[in-house]
Amino acid sequence: MKKQIVLFSLLLSCISCSINVKAQTSLPIHLGIKAGGNLTNISSTQSFEGKYSFGYQAGAIARLDLGSAYLQGETLFNKRKTSFEGESESSKLSWNSIDIPVTIGYKIVNTNEFNLRAFTGGLYSYSFGKEITGADDIKQAFSKFDKSSISLIAGLGFDIQRLSIDFSYENSLSNVSKNFKSKPKSFSIGIGYFLF
- Give 76-93 pLDDT, tens digit per residue: 999 999 887 766 677 888
Amino acid at residue number 162: R
pLDDT at position 46 is 57
What would be the CATH architecture of the domain defined by 26-194? Answer: Beta Barrel (2.40)
Query: What are the distances in angstroms from CA 92 to CA 54, 76, 123, 149?
Result: 12, 23, 24, 20
Pick left, alpha or beta for residue 67 (phi over 0 → left; psi -120 to 50 → alpha; otherwise beta).
left
Which of 152, 150, 160 minimizes the C-alpha distance to 124? 150
Cα-flanking dihedrals φ and ψ of residue 191, to 5°?
Answer: -115, 120
Asked if residue 177 has pLDDT above 50, the reply is yes
Interatomic CA distance for residues 173 and 164, integer angstroms: 27
Question: Hey, where are the domains in the chain?
Answer: 26-194
Which of 155, 147, 150 minimizes the C-alpha distance to 174? 150
pLDDT higher at 102 or 26: 102
Which of 12, 110, 130 minimizes the C-alpha distance to 69? 110
pLDDT at position 23 is 43
Instruction: Enumerate the H helices of the chain as residue ranges.
Output: 2-19, 136-141
Which residues have a Cβ under 8 Å from the Cβ of 190 and sit 6 or more positions away? Answer: 34, 35, 36, 57, 164, 165, 166, 168
User: Average pLDDT over the chain, rounded to whole?
Assistant: 84
Q: Are 99 and 69 in contact (CB under 8 A)?
A: no
User: pLDDT tens digits, residue range 108-147?
Assistant: 999 989 999 999 999 999 988 888 887 676 677 666 777 8
User: pLDDT tens digits, residue range 45-75?
Assistant: 656 677 899 999 999 999 999 999 999 999 9
Asked if residue 185 has pLDDT above 80, the reply is yes
Asked if residue 16 has pLDDT above 50, the reply is no
pLDDT at position 88 is 66
Amino acid at residue number 33: I
pLDDT at position 84 is 77
In the Cβ-directed half-sphere of 66, how many Cα atoms lie within 13 Å? 8
CA 182 to the chain's CA centroid: 20
